[in-house]
Chain A
């Protein structure tokens, strides 16, 4: 037993992903790929009207159509289907209507399910949908958010208002800062702006799909979900099925971005269909159904007032939100804007802060998590405001930020919104970004283009952001009235041959956790990267977990893996000491070798694993297993940050906008796999840029979704995006032992304001002060025209924003 060579560290290596082997060869296991014996197929009858009373449903023709097994309406399921869950009552008096999976009395958005056809083939089910005859008594739809907020027409008269809840944070009351009224009255300058966060569609590439097999001892549910564990609990609570009789599996899942952080009517319906028929049932939505029926994101009106001194020092921030819930409260619909409440102060030292959000119902599909969930909205607003302040004061946008941001030597920093930022270095990230960007040269080019009156004008957009990741300390979630905790679970199982199975409670759907977790465990236990198998996404295998969202998987789930691996080592040390005839306290572990301190005597991890398996010669009282569980509850959030710079070209003749150059320097703490981190940033940037320039879910006045397919809802393809320059600074988180912070949402959160600030920087010279998102060519052109024609106070709002879109 002698020591072998050092194990080269896996953490930090750009390992190609283990997950890819099957995905690049077509051996994928998405839910819709599943076929079970005797499986039946579901198709949904959806309301074409945004608000109506269901007066009658005639299913007789559909029931007698070829291949049809059963047709279910809301009336058939009354008393059985319960109400779809909302896990985040943000206030004690939060109002919400009941939300049956299949509408019973009324429909409240176009696309809501009113009946379900169950048939022997997908085609038979689809054909019979045409034969279900639904009579509606139309009711006045309330589509516009501002109109709904005025309570003129009540969507749910029994609630007495369209307002679901109003949530307030006030730094004076919380004792975290001053009084906003005093700050504003004492200010040398006050800037007020209103921004519109347009409604977005998550647009994961895999349409949602659910398969339910009722034939076993447990009801088995396969679903395209981010949250198999939460889904299991919620299905049990909603349908009264004992949780122990439910097994939920998230197989390969084709993207989520928050869009699959939901317990859906379609999942509940597929469970009920399987229970009614006793047969395996499958429902796969079409993309057109995804667009109208899966939750949307964002959709807020944000009014901000910022008070400052004439030198640019901010003295206070007052935020008023009106947030569109849509027709119902989904799983965490109500909490999404509240997540933003803690982020409006961004990276800055604001002495006073007040936030008030009113959640309002409309006759549209409900909103819920979409990549960033509350934090992109907050970051957009404050980063736009910092530019507005700089403009009002004639300062450079970088300069005004520098004046207000937290210095690197001021961490840990207690923020005005009650968080404690553990670490960060905004100066370093910004300096690196400016250098990579060539800030001064681009400013010079901007001046040249202005002076020569070039058709194509250049703008430079700045966004310095932070976000709260690693959701979340359970006590914080409790204080916010969220129904669950924020811990994560992991198990490390040591196989007789020394290979390792890692069970994780997070549920990857593209993030590469299998690869990253293998790297972590390989280093921790000194085993080969290839010898680590990561298991997830099946409640029968991964018995505890809280799943994947909020950039939590590594900072929370990864830490649980570390904790479980460390327990394995502690157990193995006892065995190693026994095998080496040494005291446990004298055993050191490094690179997969247990050694006796001060000697060259050692034993390998694999030998210990086999010794435990054989159990022939173990210390007295030693339980013959190295397997270990850990549940990790973080003590704090983690706070990635970064500086993003966008050089935007605006064709002033057509309004066309192009990203000429995009540079970002993110600080996500320590990096497990730089290739995966870069990939997360790229994808995040694409989505954030798409919000700024391309995407918007638009309803007409009757509540019909006009952007109901990828023909109208403009998801960018490869030629629509630039090549990004990404780089990093590393300021490890001090909250967790890995020093990691989270990266899944950073690009999305940071990029939107960088792009819009860049567009405005190019055209402010004409008197334009705002362009609503998405900054489409027509909006940009109209804004320039209005500014040139008018008194120089042009904005992209009037006649070019939502009004135009709803004509």
Chain B
């Protein structure tokens, strides 16, 4: 319950933060809401010498539209993502998934950037941002780069963000005419999902024109169900067609085994939840 001792800095700008991160003489952890980091520190599963809080950096907060693209500051809190009208209008899947994260207290404190860089494959944001084909804006000593969500997550709790880099913003294209569905399967409300599915569909002329389906906790990183998406493209928005398309949802996944279920069960769940999420998205799209 008592972390190891550390020094603490709360820089006011990204530039100052990067200077602090560049100090490789000390083990540094970035504090971006702390809803995953502080439990780790309290259990002494990490003992950094310096904690750099991004709380004072105003430029990392807030949501704006830039050319039909939502730009969400990394330090935007989950509660704000969930209730921000711009996000509700242009990327409702993101708002919906943000509202499902952990509990209200955590959503009042935790940030989208913090959750994304923590990269827990079971958490809500990674799979959702993959479905949304978000672009991650990363800044470091050598300047800024933009990484597609699909390439951003490398492994359990590991992303492309280097130790001297910061995730500054997440860019999400507009999905104004899409229907959404989000399925989060847990045994109790507090639990991390055993499997989650984020889905979006766009209907055109009475059939599914495009679909996005991403799975959470089915591998060490979030997984796009590409086969399902392809099968849905052009399909009729019916129970049968969606079920047939989603039967392959678990293909190519490598889910973990734990107290909540073995891989067989998780693969099965993925197909059921994918179907339910897509059908919800179809209904939401107005079919």
Contact = CB atoms under 8 A, between A and B. Distances in A.
A–B direct contact (CB < 8 Å):
yes
A527 to B, nearest CB: 45
A174 interface: no
Residue among A698, A714, A719, A807 having the largest count of chain B Cβ atoms under 10 Å: A714
B89 interface: no
Given A126-B2, A714-B188, A716-B188, 17 more contacts: A123-B2, A127-B2, A127-B4, A288-B43, A694-B188, A707-B259, A710-B190, A711-B190, A712-B259, A714-B191, A717-B190, A718-B189, A720-B188, A776-B187, A778-B194, A778-B262, A804-B262
Nearest to B275: A653
Interface of B: 1-2, 4-5, 43-44, 185, 187-192, 194, 257, 259-262, 265, 268-269, 272-273
Interface string A137-175: 000000000000000000000000000000000000000
Contact of B187 (A714, A781, A807): A714
B272 A778 contact: no
A720 B189 contact: yes
Q: Which 8 A-B residue pairs are closest in the complex by CB-CB distance? A: A778-B261, A719-B189, A126-B2, A778-B265, A286-B1, A714-B188, A720-B188, A653-B272
Contacts of B1: 126, 286-287
Contacts of B188: 694, 714-717, 720
Nearest to A43: B2
Contacts of A34: none
A804 B5 CA distance: 40
A804 B273 CA distance: 22
B259 to A, nearest CB: 5
27 contacts: A123-B2, A127-B5, A286-B1, A287-B1, A653-B272, A654-B185, A654-B272, A654-B273, A655-B265, A693-B187, A694-B188, A706-B259, A714-B187, A714-B188, A714-B191, A716-B188, A720-B189, A776-B260, A777-B185, A777-B261, A778-B194, A778-B260, A778-B261, A781-B265, A782-B265, A805-B259, A807-B257
B224 to A, nearest CB: 22
A589 to B, nearest CB: 54
A656 interface: yes
Nearest to A285: B1
A694 B189 CA distance: 11
A288 to B, nearest CB: 7
Contacts of B185: 654, 656, 777
Contacts of B189: 717-720
A122 interface: yes
Interface string A244-258: 000000000000000
Contacts of A719: 189
A622 B2 CA distance: 62
A156 B190 CA distance: 40
Nearest to B192: A711
Nearest to A712: B259
Nearest to B268: A781
Residue among A693, A707, A777, A782 having the largest count of chain B Cβ atoms under 10 Å: A777
A761 to B, nearest CB: 21
Contact of A807 (B192, B262, B269, B273): B262
Contacts of B194: 777-778
Contacts of A123: 2, 5
A207 B190 CA distance: 20
Nearest to B189: A719
Contacts of B4: 127
Nearest to B44: A130
Contact of B259 (A130, A693, A698, A720): A698
Interface string A686-703: 000000011010100000
Interface of A: 122-123, 126-127, 130, 286-288, 653-656, 693-694, 696, 698, 706-707, 710-712, 714-720, 776-778, 781-782, 804-805, 807
Contacts of B268: 781
A807 B262 CA distance: 9
A706 B272 CA distance: 28
A695 to B, nearest CB: 10
Nearest to B183: A654
A4 B209 CA distance: 85
A720 B260 CA distance: 16
B187 A777 contact: yes
A656 B276 CA distance: 14
A782 B1 CA distance: 38
A716 B191 CA distance: 10
Nearest to A709: B43
B38 to A, nearest CB: 14
A781 B265 CA distance: 8
Contacts of A715: 188
B105 to A, nearest CB: 12
A127 B272 CA distance: 48
A123 B43 CA distance: 13
B281 to A, nearest CB: 18
A799 B268 CA distance: 16
B2 A122 contact: yes
A583 to B, nearest CB: 68
A776 B265 CA distance: 12
B120 to A, nearest CB: 12
Nearest to B47: A130
A287 B268 CA distance: 35
A799 to B, nearest CB: 8
Nearest to A124: B2
Contacts of A710: 190
Contacts of B272: 653-654
A293 to B, nearest CB: 14
A287 B1 CA distance: 9
A782 B268 CA distance: 11
Contacts of A717: 188-190
A180 B115 CA distance: 62
A288 B189 CA distance: 21
A123 B190 CA distance: 29
A27 to B, nearest CB: 23
A807 B257 CA distance: 8
Contacts of A126: 1-2
A392 to B, nearest CB: 30
Contacts of B265: 655, 777-778, 781-782
Residue among A288, A696, A776, A778 having the largest count of chain B Cβ atoms under 10 Å: A778
B27 to A, nearest CB: 16
Residue among B187, B190, B191, B262 having the largest count of chain A Cβ atoms under 10 Å: B187
A781 B271 CA distance: 14
Contacts of B2: 122-123, 126-127
B187 to A, nearest CB: 6
A777 B265 CA distance: 9
B141 to A, nearest CB: 34
A698 B261 CA distance: 14
Contacts of B5: 123, 127
Contacts of B187: 693-694, 714, 776-777
Nearest to B261: A778
A407 to B, nearest CB: 41
A106 B131 CA distance: 54
A720 B190 CA distance: 9
Contacts of A656: 185
B264 to A, nearest CB: 8
B207 to A, nearest CB: 25
B240 to A, nearest CB: 15
A127 to B, nearest CB: 7
Given A127-B4, A286-B1, A777-B187, A654 B269 contact: yes
Contacts of A122: 2
A776 B259 CA distance: 9
A693 to B, nearest CB: 8
A236 to B, nearest CB: 32
Nearest to B103: A717
B182 to A, nearest CB: 16
Nearest to A693: B187
Contacts of A653: 272
A706 B257 CA distance: 13
Contacts of A654: 185, 269, 272-273
